[in-house]
Amino acid sequence: MLSIPKYLNEIIERSYEDGVGLRTITIRTPSAQFWSGLSTEQQDEWKQLIRDLGVEPSDYLTHLKKMLPANP
């Protein structure tokens, strides 16, 4: 079973299908404010969690950068 630290609860959703027990984990792209509030160790832990789920962390981080407002 995948262990998810409590500080990541706001960007990770877990759901279970009725009667089947099938687990689904959905990861939202973190906001820049959330990401910058994580320590380097926590960011590394987040990246490892994403890899454990079979996803490339850079995909989320690229999306995070695209969501930042453009500088005038």
pLDDT at residue 39, rounded to an integer:
94
Q: Which domain holds residue 38?
A: 29-72
Global pTM reads 0.70
Q: Higher pLDDT residue, 72 or 60? A: 60
pLDDT at residue 5, rounded to an integer:
78
Listing DSSP states for 20-40 in one string gives: T--EEEEEPPPPHHHHHHS-H
Q: 45 in a domain, yes or no?
A: yes
The residue behind tokens 């995948």 is: 2
Give the model confidence (pLDDT) of 5-63 as tens digits: 787 777 776 665 555 555 677 778 888 888 899 999 999 988 988 888 788 989 888 88
Q: 11 in a domain, yes or no?
A: no
The residue behind tokens 């989320």 is: 60
pLDDT at residue 40, rounded to an integer:
94
Distance of CA 11 to the CA centre of its chain: 5
- Is 69 strand, coil or helix? coil
Structurally, how many domains does the chain consist of? 1
Q: 15 in a domain, yes or no?
A: no
Q: In terms of Cα–Cα distance, which of 61, 28, 64 is closest to 44? A: 61
pLDDT at residue 41, rounded to an integer:
93
